Amino acid sequence: MQSAQLQSKYYTSWHPYSWKSFATVQQPYYENISLLEHCILNLKNSINLVTEEEINSIKFYLHEAAKGNVFILQAGDCAETFLDCNNENVIQRVSHLQRLQELLQNNIKKPVIVIGRIAGQYAKPRSEFFETINDITLPCYRGDIINGFNFNSESRKADPLRLIRAFECSKLTYNWIRDYLNLNIGINRHSFYCSHEALHLDYESALTRLSLKSGKWLNYGTHFLWLGERTKNLNGAHVEYLRGISNPIGIKIGPHTSPNELISLLKVLNPENQMGRITLITRFGVGMTQEILPSLLDKIKRLHIAVTWSCDPMHGNGQKTKHGIKTRYFQDIWQELKETIEIHNNYGSSLSGAHFEISPFDVTECVGGECLISETQLKNKYLSYCDPRLNNEQSKEIILNLGNFLNN
Ligand code: PEP
Ligand code: MN
């Protein structure tokens, strides 16, 4: 398609399904289309999980973060699972986030707003379509909303009924979080929000509704959505979907993002240059920040583009051990975060948020930290269905380091 045609499409007819005429990537293949349609209809008739007031208030805080008045802590599992959708597990994850929030808040002496990767983080983008184990090749696991983690052909088939289960689990999770926050007097319940990656577009558009109050299209399935590194193609379906909803959105920025590409993306996703609408989450990998971030900061500053800057020091630092286990080194994660803060400071900008993959438990998925997890220990308690998370101790350590460094 000619780019002029694409341009005119962008500025004309958005609706929750306009993405269907754009190139889609990372979407599941379903065999049973009538069952899929039935499930989508079921989702369309479902209740809202969040309110417009909550969406407006998180947007306000993201704007405050850009001004330096609050700090954003976005964290949680890489992939939530249906198995962990129970009251006890959800409260463990929420209270862990709150302990980190308090730790950071007391250290940096400004309010910290939590955005959990929770209550809907069920879809995963994958670099490969297939995975081979012991000479058997099957489709990759793409998150519980799509297929099963178990390595057999039945489990790895995309099942439309999982859309409903993901919604029901998200609904339960919201209920447990709301009950818990209400019970804990003294903790500001307006400082906890939920997020997930905007990946499964049929799911997201089924939960996208027009607010009769404001006349805005909102995704009522979560407060905050982010655009992943693998789906941020300017002419792609994910960008088309996200440009039409009014929730605040994050954009993951990898090492191959050019300043011009980023500016075009921001013009499409935030044409009115609203503060709080866009959070840029950089994830370059250790040692790469100095090469890439300064020119992005410079361009955004010169063009007066409104963004909130965050850093995800996890996703650029994935490695495989010699035994083939996916891990990340605590030292790399901390180093990227430190480099990012220094570069912001050197260029008259400031980092307003950080994004981590964490677990409240003593899992052994990332190497290092003061708890000295070694490569050989990784197999002891590796519970993640997808990327390796910082465990309880490692997450406290990084938050403590972060607070101390921000204060310097
Ligand atoms: C993630 O956040 O789990 C993820 C896949 O991130 P990215 O798109 O930055 O690789
Ligand atoms: Mn991840």
CA 264 to chain centre: 21
Give the tens place of pLDDT for each residue, 84-131. 999 999 999 999 999 999 999 999 999 999 999 999 999 999 999 999
Quick one: pLDDT at residue 292?
97
Q: Which long-range contacts (CB under 8 A, 24 or more apart) does 40-47 make?
A: 40/163, 40/202, 40/206, 42/164, 43/163, 43/164, 43/167, 43/203, 43/206, 43/207, 44/206, 46/167, 46/171, 46/206, 46/207, 47/171
For ligand 2, the distance from its centroid to the CA atom of residue 11, given in whole angstroms, is 32
Quick one: pLDDT at residue 95?
97
- Flag whether pLDDT at 312 surpasses 70: yes
- Flag whether pLDDT at 4 surpasses 70: no
Give the tens place of pLDDT for each residue, 148-176. 999 999 999 999 999 999 999 999 999 99
**CA quadruple 394, 90, 165, 160: dihedral, nearest 10:** -10
Of all residues in the chain, the percent with pLDDT exceeding 70 is 96
For ligand 1, the distance from its centroid to the CA atom of residue 8, given in whole angstroms, is 30
- Flag whether pLDDT at 1 surpasses 60: no
Read off the amino acid at residue 229: E
What 3-state DSSP class applies to 211?
Answer: coil
Ligand 1 atom closest to the CA of 124, numbered from 1: 5
Which ligand has an atom closest to residue 384 CA? 2
Most ligand 1 atoms within 8 A of CB, residue of 141, 387, 389 to mutate: 387
In 3D space, the residue among 125, 141, 164, 134 whose CA is nearest the CA of residue 36 turns out to be 164
Query: Has 301 been labeled as part of a binding site?
Result: no
Of all residues in the chain, the percent with pLDDT exceeding 90 is 95
Query: Has 230 been labeled as part of a binding site?
Result: yes
What 3-state DSSP class applies to 204?
Answer: helix
Ligand 1: residue whose CA is nearest its atom 2: 78
Ligand 1: residue whose CA is nearest its atom 1: 78
| Cβ burial, residue 136 (10 Å; 0-12/13-18/19+) | exposed
Element (H, E) at 88: helix 87-108
Quick one: pLDDT at residue 184?
79
What 3-state DSSP class applies to 220?
Answer: coil
Which ligand has an atom closest to residue 355 CA? 1
Ligand 1: residue whose CA is nearest its atom 4: 228
Instruction: Answer whether 78 contacts ligand 1 (Cβ < 6 A).
Output: yes
- Flag whether pLDDT at 177 surpasses 70: yes
Which ligand has an atom closest to residue 252 CA? 1
Most ligand 1 atoms within 8 A of CB, residue of 127, 225, 231, 252 to mutate: 252
Query: Has 323 been labeled as part of a binding site?
Result: no
Q: Which tokens in the block code for residue 266? A: 């921001």
pLDDT averaged over every residue in the chain: 95
Give the tens place of pLDDT for each residue, 24-67. 999 999 999 999 999 999 999 999 999 999 999 999 999 999 99
Instruction: Answer whether 388 contacts ligand 1 (Cβ < 6 A).
Output: no
Question: How many CA atoms, within 13 angstroms, populate the side-chain half-sphere of residue 402?
Answer: 33
Distance CA 318, CA 283 (A): 11
Quick one: pLDDT at residue 97?
98
Quick one: pLDDT at residue 2?
43
Instruction: Answer whether 316 contacts ligand 1 (Cβ < 6 A).
Output: no
Distance CA 333, CA 382 (A): 18
Query: Has 84 been labeled as part of a binding site?
Result: no
- Flag whether pLDDT at 186 surpasses 80: no
Q: Which tokens in the block code for residue 112? A: 């910290």
Class in CATH terms, 1-407: alpha beta
Ligand 1 atom closest to the CA of 231, numbered from 1: 8
Which ligand has an atom closest to residue 127 CA? 1
Average pLDDT of the segment spanning 197-222: 98
The answer to whether 191 and 111 have CB atoms below 8 angstroms apart is yes
Most ligand 1 atoms within 8 A of CB, residue of 199, 251, 283, 359 to mutate: 283
Query: Has 209 been labeled as part of a binding site?
Result: no
Q: Which long-range contacts (CB under 8 A, 24 or more apart) does 88-95 make?
A: 90/118, 90/172, 90/173, 90/176, 90/177, 90/180, 91/176, 91/180, 92/360, 92/361, 93/118, 93/360, 94/118, 94/176, 94/177, 94/180, 94/181, 94/192, 95/180, 95/360
CA angle 94, 193, 149 (to 5 degrees): 60
Predicted interface score ipTM higher than 0.90: yes
Instruction: Answer whether 315 contacts ligand 1 (Cβ < 6 A).
Output: yes
Which ligand has an atom closest to residue 195 CA? 1
- The CA distances from residue 139 to 29, 129, 241, 316, 378, in Å, are 10, 6, 26, 24, 25
Count the Cβ atoms, other than its own, within 10 Å of residue 198.
26
Domain residue spans of the chain: 1-407
Average pLDDT of the segment spanning 361-377: 97
Instruction: Answer whether 252 contacts ligand 1 (Cβ < 6 A).
Output: yes
Quick one: pLDDT at residue 188?
64
Q: What is the C-alpha radius of gyration for the chain, rounded to an integer number of angstroms?
A: 20
Most ligand 1 atoms within 8 A of CB, residue of 74, 229, 231, 281 to mutate: 229
What 3-state DSSP class applies to 306?
Answer: coil
- The end-to-end CA distance of the chain, in Å, is 51
